[in-house]
Structures are given as structure tokens and as C-alpha cells.
Chain A
Amino acid sequence: MATASNVTHSHPSPERMSADLLRPLLQTSWRFYLLVALLGSIVAAGAVAWVTQMFFGFGISGIRWPIYWGFYVTNFVFWIGISHAGTLISAILRLVNAGWRRPVTRCAEVITAFALMIGAMFPIIHLGRPWLAFWLFPYSSERLIWPNFRSPLVWDFFAINTYLTGSMLFLLLPMIPDFAVVRDKTTGLRHRIYRTLALGWRGTPKQWHRLESAMSIMAVAIIPVAVSVHTIVSFDFSMAPVPMWQSTIFGPYFVAGAIFSGIAGLIIAMAVLRKVLRLQEYLLPLHFENLGKLLLVMALLWGYFVFNERLVTYYGNEPSEMTVFWQTQRDNYAPLYWTMVICNFVLPLIILGIRKFRTITGCVIASIGVVIGMWLERYLIIVPSLGHKYLPYSFGSYRPQPAEITITVATFAAMCLLYVLFAKVVPIISIWEMKAGDHPSPSLIPPATEHHKLGELHL
């Protein structure tokens, strides 16, 4: 288990590790309250905007015929994409037993849980009567109506809920031993709370073995779900008769873009944590270097997919598709389009492709570019196509209104707020996994006793 972990050497002693990683939980400065107040007020503004939209109706938003999918669906696809950072990356790193994963996994899994919650909010925000969202749920109601299981929107409901549930369980399982650490380090009310959360964890070999089995099984199970989630999100598009949407490439294109933006989100979150929580000894330049390389690979993949999509459209030369094509390539949406290409492809390639620039700062700059670029990508998939469908009666343009912009900004604040609060109550780096990586496996140490008669135990 611990053999491949010597990459992350020279960690502090276990006792100091516990102290360092628990410091954010036990010490609170005024900056924390200020940050929470700031982010909280932005989130509150978003809530006000949503309530206003419910009260006055969708007329106050920019969504109108023919562009019914504006900022909200853009945000939906974007946040579901960001969520692919976590569980997917952490599951893959766990399965291949990458030693450097240990400080990264929980930071990543948290992003998944919160980004999914935020993403899943958007279809509801996008409803005129959001209180009827539960109609998607298959239950025997007095209406005697059942959801249409042939619709990708219903698949979305199942895929996202499975992914959210699975990711939460995947995040919660390895937290139990860490709650035990907090339980044993604290006193008073905190001790009582964490004693409850630790569920009476003792750390017997059986408990550890079952925990690790559950983790590896869930890692295997969650990877295809993550891929299926964004594939099904892409079905929402590719199953509709809209120019540039009806494409067989959308599944992998969306998944690649999702992982791409997810890694970028993870790098930004880790850099902020490293700085704010003073985790320089745990989140090493090595981690940023490795994630930066991953980001570089995904940038190349993304570039290939975009080129492919464009090439096929251009070669096919179908009139309505070419309208959308030129709209994004050189007309109204060209500034956004080329910003996207620079942010997603040129910038990461230059910064991450040249080893000298692949520092922590470099990775963060590239990641910010990628997050902006990927948001624009989702916007440019949705809006130009919907505004230029096959017949002239459905031509139109879209202008986001204050309600939508406020809600969009508020979701970014909500993500930060949830992350800040989480890092306040749970060790953001898994303490036991860090320690497990530091101890060499006892089987590698030759037995000290010469009269070692346990032949049947040491086959």
C-alpha cells in the first residue's frame, strides 16, 4: 500500500502533522468571519435575485424566445464540469495508487460535492415554477403521471443524483478516521460533536480493511458514473435538432472539457488553501507540477476536440450549421470565441508547456484562464446555436439581465463559501492518509527475531 508513496518524503512528524492540519479547525481569525460575511452577502444577493425572478417571472431575465437556455444552462454545464475534478481525479489516483495523491484527494472530492450541488441547482433555477421540480422524481402520485424515461433530461436527473450521492459517500467514508483524530485532540463541545461524527471509530485492522475495501470499490464505481454524467449532459444537446448540436462527438467532447475545467478548479483551490491555511509543507510544488501536466494534456485534448468539431462542420458545409460556424468564427461571437481559444489552448500550452513557467503561480494563471475559457465554451455552445436555428422565425439574440448575472456571480461566491466553511470543520487534507503514506510497509522491514516460526502466516 505504502510502497509507491516515497515521492512525498520529508513530511513533518505525525504529531506535528495532526497539529498543522487541525489548526484551521481550532483557530479562527477575524479574516475568516470577514470572508464568510463577504461571500455570504454575495450569496444572499443571488438568493434575492432568484426570489425576484420567481416573483416577477422570467420576463426579468434575458431568457426569451428563441434562446431559452442562457446563463443558467451555461452555469449548469459549467459547474457539473467543474465537479469532474474531484471524485474522478481522486478515484483514478487512488486506483493507480499514486503516492502524491494523498494531500490532493480530499481537496478534490470536496470540489465535486459542492460543484454538483451548485450545478444541480441551475435546472431548478431555470424552472418557472421551481417548487414543482420534484415532478422529475418517479413516485406514484395522485396525478398518475410518470416521467418519460426516454428523455435525456430524466437521465440527467438520475445521473446527477447518483453522482452526487456517490461523491458524498466517497467523501464521507475516509473522513471518519479523521473525525476520530479531531475527537482526540479537542475538548468540550467540539469534542462531543466530533465524537458523534467519528461514530466510535477505533482503527482496528478489520475496520481499516473494510474502509479501504469500500473506498477502492467506490473508486471503481464512481469513474464510469463521472464519465456518464457529462455524457448524459451532452445528450441534452446532441439529441436536439439544433445546428452544431447534433454531433456524435459531444459525449467525449463534454467529458474532456469537464475534466479540463475540473483540474483547473482544483489547482486554484489548492493554491488558495496552501496560501491561506499555510499548508506549504503538504501541498508541494510537485503536486502543482503533476496537476499542471495533467492540465496540459487535457488542453491538447480539448484543442483536438474543438478543431475536430469545427473541421467536421466546415467540411460538411451545411447552410444552417455554417451560419452558426461563421457567427462564432468571425461575426458577433468571434471576440468570445477567440478569447476562449486563447484561454483554453494558447495560454495553457505556453505556460504549462515550458517547464520554467510551470510553477505554482504559472499553474494558477493557466487554471484561471481555463476556468474562464471553459465557461465561455459552454456559453458558445448554447447561445449562438439557439439563436440561429433552421428557420428564420427562430432567429434571435440574447442579452443577460441583472438577475442572471447576479445569480451567476453568487454561485461562484457560494462555491467559495461552502469551501471555506468545509475547511473550517473538516481537515481539508486527509490526516490518516498522509500518515499512511509516510510509514514504510512493515513487510518491507526484515523480521527482527531470528526464531520467526510463522511460516503459515508469511507465505
Chain B
Amino acid sequence: MSHIDETPTLYGLMAEFDNPSDLVRAAERARLAGYRNMDAYSPIPIEEINEALGYKRTRLPLLVLLGGICGGIGGYSLEYWSSVIAYPMNIGGRPFHSWPQFIPVTFETTVLGAALSAFVGMWALNGLPQPYHPVFNVPAFERASRDRFFLCIETIDPRFDRHATQQFLEGLHPLGVSEVAP
């Protein structure tokens, strides 16, 4: 693995494409070439690129399941505790622990827990809010939210070489290759 002297001043090299297919193809080629520390940026979700970048499924559904279970248990416990222990009251001769009537609220708190954990989990796993990221230093990157597709190979990649990687990226026929300041 080659060591480059200018690494500290560089976050990575970024290639710009104007359609999703080129980006997917570029990511696949980069993976074949042995690059691992890279990321793609696109204005729309592209499912195909997940396999090109070697990503696995997200853990989000598991978090949501846990959140839902916690919500459900929490809701039912609240009802049980308040109606049986804290404030037992005879209402229409029903038992204090009248579980069929506790189901609607349990259901709602289950979904509430799941929805909140889906939202918070999405933020947390994605690292949002993220006030600073080096890719925003590239002037062309402002079109990444609209109609341009980017592939950035980062300097931390073991195979990263300032010149070889630049040549590799240019071989993918991008619209341009730019340096990303850290």
C-alpha cells in the first residue's frame, strides 16, 4: 500500500456523473478495483448501488420492533399500574384489571413507540443532524441534491493513491473529478 504525503490535506477524490446508471457502473468498477472506503451521493434513492458498495440491510426494522415492544409494554403497564395499584376505582362493576378495555391504548402506544423509534432511528443511524461534512466543500456538490450523481473514494482507503485513483476515476468517463478538502 502506497503512502501519500498529501493525505492529511485531502478527504478524497470525487467523480461526478449525470445519470444513475453511470454511477452504479462506476461504483461496481471501483469495487472490482479493490476500493472499499468510498461513498456515493445521489438526489434519488438507487437501490442497485447498495450491492455495488457492499452494503447490508439496515438494522432499522429491528430498532422499530424494539421500540414497538417497549411502547406496548409501557402502555399496558401504565394502565395496569394506574388502574390497579395507584388509583383503583370501581367503574361499572368492572374488575380493576379489565384487560380487554386496556387494549386500545396498548395498541396506540405500541405504534407510537414504533413510529418514534423509526424516526429517531433513521436520524441516529444516519448520523443526522450532521453540521459539517467535507463533501460540501466541492462546489459542484450543490447539484448532488438535484441532478448530479457523485462517487467519492476516500483517502483512508488502503488502495487510495492520489494519482492512480484520479486516473482510475477519470477512466470511468465522469463529467469531472475534483479533490475534496477535509
A interface residues, Cβ below 8 angstroms from B = 1, 13-15, 18, 138, 140, 144-150, 154-155, 158-159, 161-162, 165-166, 169-170, 172-173, 176-177, 180-181, 183-185, 196, 199-214, 217-218, 221-222, 224-225, 228, 232, 432, 435-436, 439, 441-443, 445, 447-449, 452-454, 457-458
C-alpha gap A159/B105 in the complex (Å) = 7
A169 touches B115 (CB 8 A): yes
A145 to B86, CA, bound (A): 8
Query: What B residues does A161 contact at CB under 8 A?
Result: 108, 112
Q: Closest approach, in angstroms, between the C-beta of A24 and any C-beta of chain B?
A: 17
The interface residues of chain A lying within 8 Å CB-to-CB of B6 are none
Are A228's CB and B31's CB within 8 A? no
- Whole-angstrom CA separation of A412 from B99 in the bound complex: 40
Contacts of B122 on A, CB cut-off 8 Å?
Answer: 173, 210-211, 213-214
Given contacts A155-B105, A439-B20, A454-B28, contact A177 B145 (CB under 8 A): yes
Which among B24, B79, B132, B145 is the interface contact of A184 at CB below 8 angstroms?
B145
The answer, among A146, A206, A211, A217, for a CB contact under 8 Å with B61, is A217
CB proximity to A under 8 Å, residues B44-59: 44-53, 55, 58
Which residue, of A203, A213, A449, A457, has the highest number of chain B Cβ atoms within 10 A?
A: A203
Q: Is the CB of B60 within 8 A of A206?
A: no
Q: Which of B110-156 touch A at CB < 8 Å? A: 111-112, 114-116, 118-119, 121-123, 125-126, 128-133, 135, 142-147
| Residues of B contacting A: mostly | helix
Residues of B within 8 A of A13 (CB): 147
Closest chain B residue to A140, Cβ basis: B86
Give the residues in chain A near B64, CB-CB below 8 Å.
214, 217, 221
Instruction: Give, as a whole number of angstroms, the nearest-CB distance from B3 to chain A.
Output: 27
**Per a CB cutoff under 8 Å, which of B45, B107, B135, B142 touches A208?**
B45
Q: Are A166 and B105 in touch, CB under 8 angstroms?
A: no
A441 to B45, CA, bound (A): 10
| Residue in A147, A204, A213, A435 whose CB lies within 8 Å of B82 | A147
- Contacts A149-B79, A200-B128, A217-B64; A209 near B50 (Cβ below 8 A): yes
Closest residue on chain A to residue B92 by CB atoms = A150
- Contact indicator A149/B58 (Cβ below 8 Å): no
- With both chains docked as a complex, state the minimum distance between the C-beta of A50 and any C-beta of chain B, in angstroms: 28
Do A214 and B128 contact each other (CB < 8 Å), given the known contacts A169-B118, A203-B42, A204-B41?
no
Check A442 against B46 for contact (C-beta < 8 Å).
yes
> Chain B contacts of A212 at CB under 8 A?
45
Residue from B112, B118, B135 in contact with A214 in the complex, judged by beta carbons closer than 8 Å: B118
Q: How far is the CB of B48 from chain A (nearest CB, A)?
A: 5
**Which among A149, A441, A454 is the interface contact of B105 at CB below 8 angstroms?**
A149
Contact residues in A for B135 (Cβ distance below 8 Å): 202
- In the assembled complex, the CB of B42 is this many whole angstroms from the nearest CB of chain A, namely 5
Q: Mark B48-81, 1 if CB is under 8 A from A, else 0.
A: 1111110100101100100010000001001100
Minimum Cβ distance to chain B for residue A90 (Å): 15
Contact residues in B for A165 (Cβ distance below 8 Å): 112, 115-116
**Which of B78, B104, B111 touches A166 (beta carbons < 8 Å)?**
B111
- Whether B40 and A204, one on each chain, are in contact in the complex, defined by CB atoms closer than 8 angstroms, is yes
Whether the pair B142, A184 counts as a contact (CB closer than 8 A) is yes
B130's partner among A144, A200, A441, A452 (CB-CB below 8 A) is A200
Nearest chain A CB to B141 CB, angstrom units:
8
- The chain B residue sitting closest to A16, CB to CB, is B147
Q: How far is the CB of B84 from chain A (nearest CB, A)?
A: 10
**B152 nearest CB across to chain A (Å):** 9
CB distance from A218 to the nearest CB of B (A): 5
How distant is the Cα of A204 from the Cα of B43 in the complex, in angstroms? 9
Contact A449 B25 (CB under 8 A): yes
Majority-rule SS of A interface residues: helix
- Tell me the bound Cα distance from A356 to B29 in angstroms: 54
Report Cα–Cα, A159/B108, bound state, in Å. Answer: 6
23 of the cross-chain contacts (CB-CB < 8 Å) are A14-B43, A146-B86, A148-B83, A158-B109, A161-B108, A161-B112, A184-B145, A199-B129, A200-B128, A200-B129, A203-B41, A203-B42, A205-B46, A206-B58, A207-B126, A209-B47, A209-B55, A212-B45, A221-B118, A432-B44, A435-B43, A442-B21, A454-B32
Residues of A within 8 A of B19 (CB): 439
- B4 interface residue per 8 A CB criterion: no
Q: Are the C-beta atoms of B41 and A221 separated by less than 8 Å?
A: no
Interface: B35 (CB within 8 A): no
Which A residues are in CB contact (< 8 Å) with B116?
165, 169
Nearest residue, chain A, Cβ from B71: A162
B53 neighbours in A (Cβ, 8 Å): 205
Q: Is the CB of A224 within 8 A of B111?
A: yes
Closest-by-CB residue of A relative to B88 is A146
Tell me if B89 is interfacial: C-beta within 8 Å of chain A.
yes
Give Cα distance in the complex from A203 to B102, angstroms. Answer: 42
Interface centre among B53, B128, B130, B131 (most CB of A within 10 A): B128
Residues of A with C-beta under 8 A to B163? none
Contacts of B128 in A (CB 8 A): 176, 199-201
Residue of A nearest to B50 (CB): A205
Is the CB–CB distance between B115 and A155 below 8 Å?
no
With A and B bound together, what is the CA distance between A436 and B51 in angstroms? 19
Q: State the CA gap A23–B32 with chains docked (Å).
A: 43
Q: Are A144 and B87 in contact (CB under 8 A)?
A: yes
CA distance A180 to B135 in the complex (A): 14
Say yes or no: A15 contacts B79, CB within 8 Å: no
Contacts of A213 in B (CB 8 A): 58, 60-61, 122
Chain B residues near A169: list those with CB within 8 A.
Answer: 115-116, 118-119
The one of A149, A184, A205 in contact with B146, judged by C-beta atoms closer than 8 angstroms, is A184
Please measure, in the bound complex, the distance between the C-alpha atom of A14 and the C-alpha atom of B145, giving whole angstroms.
10
The answer to whether B105 and A435 touch across the interface, beta carbons within 8 angstroms, is no
A452 CA / B52 CA spacing, docked (Å): 12
